[in-house]
Structure 1
Amino acid sequence: MLSHVGSDNQPRMVGVGAKVATQRVARAQARVLLPVDVASQLREAGHMTPKGPVLTTANLAGVMGAKATPQLIPLCHPLMLQRCRVDLTVEGDEIVIVCEVACHGTTGVEMEALTGVSIAALTVYDMCKAMSHDIVIREVRLLHKSGGKRDVDTGATSA
């Protein structure tokens, strides 16, 4: 039986009230591939565009996205996040975004970490689209989650 579908085949929020609260951590990653000329322009301009500082703005957007996850994704529980960190690293023509989220609760924070990297990546796209629309957001994925019924670690390295 699917956990988010009731006997009437309608979606429902899973009850987590009886679960034991544990420390939950999740880390996700996204990669934004920039055209060579855009990456070069950004490096030369100190990662500034007419819209402002790309990396700083995307960092803040990622944190805001993680915090807003229950408003964006149906059936996600509102969580009191204890920590949310978004790191953006420039690797050649790519911006690698990693978001790590933690809380003490009865449900995991992987959707918050995935939302954080997704919103940060979309912000990079938005701030750079005047230079090119050939920007590719790729490899949005969960790297690690712990503290629940089952831990996940893809073995991938993160920034």
Structure 2
Amino acid sequence: MTDPKSAFTHLNEKGEANMVDVTEKAVTSRTAIAEGFISMTQSTFDMLLAGEHKKGDVFAVARIAGIQAAKKTSELIPLCHPLMLSKVQVDFEPVIQSETNEYLIKVVALCKLAGKTGVEMEALTAVSVALLTLYDMCKAVDPAMIIGGVKLLQKQGGKSGDWLREENT
């Protein structure tokens, strides 16, 4: 059986937390895409899609929050490297699950750079903060909203190569 400590790159040989040394890694093009969902009542869903929220353009604010969060990931997540992102994109998609009568907003974030370490945490952070911003702006009208399903969909580049989440997982 493999020593569990050796499987974690953020632990040294003593099991202590440390930032991974990427000095000798090659600069490569790296991309990550993540997604998450927020469920809400139909009336909240309809209000957002119609742009009728009294706080203004909720999607614009959540998009900016997600982009800013991706840029600040190294300040939020211990041991993450500060990265020079070349692109952050945050998109929203309304989803109606007719079989479960759920009204969802799907948030998808894409992060890119040319660098020595991946951008998975930045994409996940962008999605998470965009979802939290949607919740914050709508909680007065719908405090029962539920955030969930935050996950990495794919990554490209780097030593470990490309990865794509299998369907139905």
SS state at 1:12 partner: coil
TM-score computed with the length of structure 2 as normaliser: 0.86
SS state at 1:74 partner: coil
Match in the other structure for 1:29: 35
Tell me whether 1:116 sits opposite 2:126 in the alignment: yes
RMSD value, Cα: 1.5
Contact 1:27 1:99 in 2 (8 A): yes
- How far has the Cα of 1:155 moved from its partner? 4.5
1:119-138 matches, cutoff 5 A: 119-138=129-148
Q: Could you tell me how far apart the structure 1 residues matched to 2:147 and 2:133 are?
A: 11
SS state at 2:148 partner: strand
1:79-98 matches, cutoff 5 A: 79-92=83-96, 93-98=103-108
Tell me whether 1:10 sits opposite 2:10 in the alignment: no
Q: Could you tell me how far apart the structure 2 residues matched to 1:136 and 1:47 are?
A: 21
Match in the other structure for 1:77: 81
Moved over 3 A (4+): none
Match in the other structure for 1:66: 70
Gaps of 5+ in 1: none
Gaps of 5+ in 2: 1-5, 97-102
- How far has the Cα of 1:147 moved from its partner? 0.3
User: Which deviations, in whole Å up to 9, do the C-alpha atoms of 1:10-34 show, x marking residues without a partner?
Assistant: 2000000101110000000011111
- How far has the Cα of 1:64 moved from its partner? 0.5
SS state at 2:63 partner: helix
User: Which deviations, in whole Å up to 9, do the C-alpha atoms of 1:33-86 show, x marking residues without a partner?
Assistant: 11223213333xx23423221111111111001001000000000000000000
